[in-house]
C-alpha cells in the first residue's frame, strides 16, 4: 500500500513538470498562447496579424498588445508600422474594465 501511494505521488509530481504545449501562465485561469506569428518568424512588410488563444477559464474579454514594451492603442489584431529588425510582440489578457490579468505571452519576430 505504501509503495502504491509513493508511486502515485511520484507520477503526480512528474506530471506537474510537464509543459502545457506552449501555453504561458500557470493554472487554466492564467493561460494564453500566441498562435501567429510563431517565435522567430521573419515578417515581410511592416505589419503582421497577431492571433492568440485564451485557455479555458481565463476571465479575459480581450488582450492588450505591446511591441517592444510599447502599448499598441486600438489593437484590433494587426500590428502596423514595424521597422526592420527584431521586435518583441506581447499580448496580455485583460478584463472588461481593462485591468490586466496574469496571463501573457510573447514572441520575438524579425522584420525583413
Q: Report d(CA 30, CA 91) in Å as an integer.
A: 12
Query: How confident is the model over 36-68, as pLDDT tens digits?
Result: 999 999 999 999 999 999 888 788 889 999 999
Q: Report d(CA 85, CA 67) in Å as an integer.
A: 12
Query: How confident is the model over 79-107, as pLDDT tens digits?
Result: 999 999 999 999 999 998 988 888 999 99
Domain ranges of the chain: 22-111
For domain 22-111, give the CATH superfamily.
Answer: Immunoglobulins (2.60.40.10)
Instruction: Check residue 4 and give its pLDDT.
Output: 35
pLDDT of 14 strictly over 90 = no
Amino acid at each position: 500500500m505504501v509503495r502504491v501511494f509513493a508511486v502515485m505521488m511520484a507520477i503526480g509530481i512528474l506530471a506537474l513538470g510537464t509543459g502545457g504545449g506552449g501555453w504561458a501562465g500557470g493554472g487554466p485561469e492564467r493561460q494564453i498562447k500566441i498562435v501567429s506569428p510563431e517565435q522567430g518568424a521573419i515578417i515581410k512588410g511592416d505589419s503582421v496579424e497577431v492571433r492568440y488563444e485564451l485557455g479555458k477559464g481565463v476571465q479575459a474579454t480581450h488582450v492588450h498588445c505591446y511591441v517592444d514594451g510599447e502599448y499598441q492603442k486600438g489593437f484590433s489584431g494587426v500590428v502596423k508600422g514595424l521597422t526592420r529588425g527584431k521586435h518583441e510582440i506581447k499580448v496580455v489578457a485583460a478584463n472588461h474594465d481593462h485591468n490586466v490579468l496574469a496571463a501573457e505571452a510573447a514572441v520575438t519576430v524579425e522584420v525583413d
